[in-house]
């Protein structure tokens, strides 16, 4: 079992839709959870960062962590074609080794 | 300001050859990371430097892989006797603080070097 599981998609939605992206993880010791966005032929860029359980909102993006079910979510409201990218969830215990999911490819159609 | 840069952007080599991949981190960032990303997968941790020393090299797949950061800035990932399975995008990232500190630590990624071993 991988430490972080993520459905690779692809996920295709119309412009303006609400997008839900999800990951599960196996190690209850994980404390820090991140979402990265990666455009084609670019490096990942950090979108959202949360510590422990709860919600965090930043503009059109909301990150949720449910430690009881080891479930991580990213919601994108009013999705735009420019949101088309691969979204990677990631975590670490507080050390140096960041563990990434496989990434979900998102396509937002105009 | 300038971000993380990696050279070359593309490298094609033959099986058995030696390659070097270079990473220039953001100025002043003490932490530097190498990752490998295969097609359809997320980045896989290889090695982490704090300053000049490798604090964690547990992700290096075998002894054909080696990385250095002699002056605490530029880093080079070296791969000996390349194999077709080494084909991937090699990503470098740098950060200012130690991970796990208050507020966390943002890793800034370069665009990667796409390595193809024929």
**Tens digit of pLDDT for each residue in A76-108?**
999 999 999 999 999 986 667 889 999 999 999
User: How many angstroms from the chain centroid is the CA of residue B73?
Assistant: 13
pLDDT confidence of residue A9: 87
Higher pLDDT, B17 or A30: B17
Nearest-angstrom CA–CA distance, A87 and A67: 20
Q: What are phi and psi of A3, to 5 degrees?
A: -70, -30
Is residue B97 pLDDT above 80, yes or no? no
- Distance in Å, alpha carbon of A10 to nearest chain B alpha carbon: 11
Secondary structure class of B16 (helix, strand, coil): coil
pLDDT value at position A107? 97
Q: What angle do CA A33, A34, A39 make, to 5 degrees?
A: 160
Residue A17 has pLDDT above 80, yes or no: yes
> What angle (nearest 5°) sits at the alpha carbon of residue A40, between those of residues A19 and A15?
30
Q: Do A43 and B109 touch (CB under 8 A)?
A: yes
The band of B103, judged by pLDDT with boundaries at 50, 70 and 90, is very low
Cβ neighbours of B56 in A, within 8 Å: 95-97
């Amino acid at each position: 079992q991988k430490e972080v599981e993520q459905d690779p998609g692809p996920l295709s939605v119309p412009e303006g839709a609400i997008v839900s992206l999800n990951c599960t993880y196996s190690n209850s010791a994980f404390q820090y959870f991140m979402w990265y966005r990666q455009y084609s032929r670019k490096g990942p860029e950090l979108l959202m960062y949360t510590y422990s359980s709860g919600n965090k909102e930043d503009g059109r993006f909301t990150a949720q962590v449910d430690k009881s079910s080891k479930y991580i979510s990213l919601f994108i409201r009013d999705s735009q074609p420019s949101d088309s990218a691969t979204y990677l969830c990631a975590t670490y215990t507080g050390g140096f080794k960041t563990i990434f999911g496989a990434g979900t490819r998102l396509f937002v159609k105009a | 300001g300038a971000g993380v840069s990696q050279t070359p952007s593309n490298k094609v080599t033959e099986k058995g050859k030696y390659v070097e991949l270079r990473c220039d981190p953001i100025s002043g960032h003490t932490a530097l990371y190498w990752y490998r990303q295969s097609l359809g997968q997320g980045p896989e941790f290889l090695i982490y430097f704090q300053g000049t020393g490798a604090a964690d090299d547990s992700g290096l797949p075998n002894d054909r892989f080696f990385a250095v950061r002699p002056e605490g800035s530029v880093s080079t990932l070296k791969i000996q006797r390349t194999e077709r399975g080494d084909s991937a995008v090699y990503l470098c990232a740098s950060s200012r603080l130690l991970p796990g500190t208050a507020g966390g630590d943002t890793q800034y990624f370069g665009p990667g070097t796409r390595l193809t071993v024929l």
